[in-house]
Structure 1
Amino acid sequence: MKNTGFVRDVHLAIEQVEREAWFDMYAAAPAAIVQRTNIAFRRLGTAIGLADRGTPIAEFNRVLGLGIDEPASEDELERAIAWMKEHAVPSHALQLAPTARPEGLPQSLEARGYRRTGNGWAKYYRDASPAEGHPIPTALEVKLVRPEDAAHFGQVVQAGFGLPAAVADWQSALVGRPKWNVYAAYDGGVPVACGAMFIDGGWAWLGVDATLAEYRGRGAQNALIERRIADGIAAGVSGFTAETGQPSEGEERKNKSYGNYHRAGFTRLYVRPNYVLPQA
C-alpha cells in the first residue's frame, strides 16, 4: 500500500465486504430460528444493525459500517441507536473504524452515553499473492462443505465457540448460499474445525473460524486460511480481509487467531473500537 488514496480505498473495501457478509449471514437465518431467538437485522443508512438476543455477545449485537461510505448524520446516528435499543441486547456495540466520518463521531457517541470498551478488533488486509504453506502441514483434511453435509459446519461453529444450540442450524444455512464458500477440517470423517469465505465485489471476507477444543493446536486454522486464500485467488479475488480481537499489549503471541492471520501474510491495518453503554 504505497499511497494514501490506495490505503483509503482498502479501508473502505474491507469494511464494506465485512458489512455485507454479516448482513447476508443474518438474511440466511431460517425463519423458525428468527422467531425463536428474536434475530433482527436492518440497513441503517449505509450502516447495518445486527441483533440476536439469543446470543448476547457483541459480535451478534452491533452496528457495523457507520460513517464509512459517507459521513453519518445525527439523524442516522439517532436511528441506529434507537433500533439497537429496541432489538439488541443492552450490551450491544457500535463499532467505529478510524476512517468513519465525521471526525467527531466518537464524541457524538460519548455524548449519548456510549463509552469505548475493551481492546477493540484488529482488522486485517492481505493482497491476492499466493499463500506460503505452513512449515508443519496438518494431518487434518480441509474440504469445501457440501449441502448434504451442511450440519457439519453448523455443529462445529456452535460447539467451537460455545454458542446457543440454535446457532448450529443458522450457520448450516450458509452452506451452498451464493457468495459463500464454507469449509471444514476433518479428522477422518469427523468435522473438527471450520471457516467461511464471503466474496463480494472482488473482495473476500474470512471469518467464522472455529475449532473444537480437543483439536486446537493441530494446524486446522492455518490450513483453512490457506485453502480459502487459494480458492479466493482462483475466483478472481483482489484482496482479503479478516478480523480478530485485539490482544493486550505484549500478549499478541498468546492469541492463536492473531498469530494465524499474521503467519498467512495478513497485515493489521487498524484497530476498530467498540462503543458500549455501561451496564448498571
Structure 2
Amino acid sequence: MTTTVPPGLAELTEIMAYADFATSASMSVRETLGLGSLHVGSTRALAIREDPSQFFNRAGGFGADGPITVDDLARVCAFYREHGVSQGSLMIAPPLLPPDWDATATKLGLVEGSRFTKLGCDIETLPTVADRAALDPGWRVGVVEAHQAREWATVMMTTFGFTAPAMIEMAASCVGAPNWRQFAVWAGERIVAVGSLFLNGQCADMFGGATLPEARGRGAQSALLTARVRAAAAEGCRWLVAETGVEGPGEHNPSLHNMLRVGFEPMYERTTWLWQA
C-alpha cells in the first residue's frame, strides 16, 4: 500500500483543524485567552497569548497553493509579534521547503524545534478495520453529544496539561461544529478517552487523541481510531492524516504504533521551525 496524500493538503488539513478548533470558541473566551488568527492564501496561523505552553502558537498550510515565499513566512512572524507571544511554530512539509531554505530560515531567525512524524492513509486501500481493537469488557466507544461536551473537553485538555477553565471551554465549543466529529470511550458512565475527526473535503485529520492515565493500555485509542476511520469513510473522505512525535532510538511512542496498526503509513518527518521574539 502506498500513501498518496498530497503533502500540501495534509499540512493544510492539520492547520485548518487547529484553527477551527480554537476559533469555534465564543468571543468572550477568545478575549480571555488573547486568541488571534491569520488566514492568507493557504496559510493559517493561530496565537493564544494566555497559553503558557505556547503549543497553540502555530502556523501551517504553507505551499498548499504555490511555492513558499519569504513574504509568506515573514507575514506569520509579524503576526506572532503583533499578538505579543514570545514563540511561534511554523510547520512546513520537507518536500515543500524552498530550495534556499537554510538562508531563508537564518534571515527570519527561525531555529529548529521538535520533530513530528506525519502519517497518512488512503481509505480506499485500508485493510478492513472491523473490531481489531480489544476494548475492555463493559467499555464502549461512541459519538459525543452536546450535553457531554464539557466532560469530553476536560478529559482531552487536562490530559495534555491544559487546565485553565478558558482552555477547556475553548475545546468544548467545537463539539457539534459542522466539520467535526467527536468520539469518546466510556467506562460505565465516565469518559476515559477521547478523539476527534476534522473533515476537510476529501481529507480528514485525526485530532486530539487522549486517554486518562489510569485507562491506558486497554484498547481505548485503537477503538477511537477505528471509529474515526469508519466515520471518515462514511463522510466520503479519501485520505486520512495524523501526526505524532518522532520516536527516537530506544523510545516507544504508543500513539505511533496504534496508528500503524490501523493502517497509517509514515509520510515524512517534519521539523518544527520556531520563531522567537
Normalised to the residue count of structure 2, the TM-score between the two structures is 0.91
Pairing 1:121-140 to 2, within 5 Å after superposition:
121-128=116-123, 129=126, 130-134=128-132, 136-139=134-137, 140=139
Deviation digits for residues 152-208 of structure 1 (CA, Å, limit 9, x no counterpart): 211111221120322211111111110100011111000111000011212111111
The residue type equivalent to 1:22 in the other structure is Y
**1:218 counterpart SS class:** coil
Q: Letter of the aligned partner of 2:86 in structure 1?
A: P
Rounded Cα–Cα distance in structure 2 between residues aligned with 1:106 and 1:22: 27
Corresponding residue for residue 216 of structure 2? 216
TM-score, with length taken from structure 1: 0.90
The answer as to whether partners of 1:152 and 1:184 remain within 8 angstroms in 2 is no
Q: 1:96 corresponds to which residue?
A: 92
Contact in 2 for aligned 1:93/1:274 (Cα 8 Å): yes
1:174 to 2:174 alignment = yes
- RMSD over equivalenced CA pairs, Å: 2.0
Work out whether residues 133 and 222 of structure 2, in 8 Å CA contact, stay in contact via their aligned partners in 1. Answer: no
Matched length: 272
Counterparts of 1:240 and 1:155 in 2: how far apart (Å)?
26
**Offset, 1:20:** 1.9
Is the partner of 1:143 in helix, strand or coil? Answer: strand
Equivalent position of 1:143 in the other structure: 142
Residue 135 of structure 1 deviates from its aligned partner by: 5.9
Match of 2:56 in 1: 60
Helix, strand or coil for the counterpart of 1:122?
A: strand
> How many angstroms apart in 1 are the aligned matches of 2:155 and 2:112?
32
Cα distance change, pair 35–135 in 1 and its aligned pair in 2 (3 A):
closer
SS at match of 1:243: strand
Distance (whole Å) between structure 1 residues aligned to residue 136 and residue 238 of structure 2: 27
Q: Taking structure 1 as reference, are residues 185 and 151 closer, same or farther at Cα in structure 2, changes over 3 Å only? A: same
Q: Does residue 261 in structure 1 map to residue 246 in structure 2? A: no
Q: Distance in 1 between matches of 2:136 and 2:232?
A: 21
Looking at structure 1, the residues matched to 29 and 102 of structure 2 have their Cα atoms a distance apart, in angstroms, of 34
Equivalence for 1:114: 110
CA distance in 1, matches of 2:240, 2:119: 8
The secondary structure found in structure 2 opposite 1:259 is helix
Structure 1 position 245, deviation (Å): 1.1
**What is the SS of the residue equivalent to 1:171?**
helix
CA drift of 1:274 comes to 0.8
* Maintained 8 Å contact 1:193/1:221: yes
Does the 8 A contact of 1:70 with 1:101 survive in 2? no
Matched, 1:238 2:234: no
Query: Does the C-alpha gap of structure 1 residues 234 and 46 become closer, same or farther in structure 2, counting only changes over 3 Å?
Result: closer
Q: Tell me, which stretches of 5 or more residues in structure 1 are unaligned? A: none
The CA deviation string for residues 203-254 of structure 1, in whole angstroms up to 9 with x for no partner, is 1111111111111111111100001101111221111111111121342xx2
Aligned residue in 2 for 1:155: 154
Q: Which amino acid is the alignment partner of residue 75 of structure 1?
A: D
Deviations 1:116-160 (A, max 9, x none): 123x11111112133253363333211100112111211111221
2:101 to 98, 105, 108: 105
Q: What SS does the aligned partner of 2:55 have?
A: helix
Q: In structure 2, what is the Cα distance between the partners aligned to 1:278 and 1:33?
A: 25
Q: Give the aligned partner of residue 82 of structure 1.
A: 78
1:246 maps to amino acid: V
Partner SS, residue 99 of structure 2: coil
Q: Tell me by how many angstroms 1:72 deviates.
A: 2.2
Q: What is the rounded CA distance, in whole Å, between the counterparts of 1:188 and 1:226 in structure 2?
A: 20
Q: Which amino acid aligns with 1:100?
A: L
Provide structure 2 residue ranges, at least 5 long, that are not aligned to the other structure: none
Match of 2:68 in 1: 72
Change (3 A) 1:66 1:135: closer
Q: In percent, how many aligned pairs have the same letter?
A: 30
8 Å CA contact retained: 1:61, 1:88: no
Cα distance in 1, alignment partners of residues 244 and 167 from structure 2: 20
CA contact (8 A) 2:134 2:218 kept: no
Which amino acid is 1:103 matched to? Answer: P
Distance 1:106-1:46 versus aligned 2 partners, 3 A rule? farther
Any residues of structure 2 matched to 1:17-56 within 5 Å, and which?
17-56=13-52
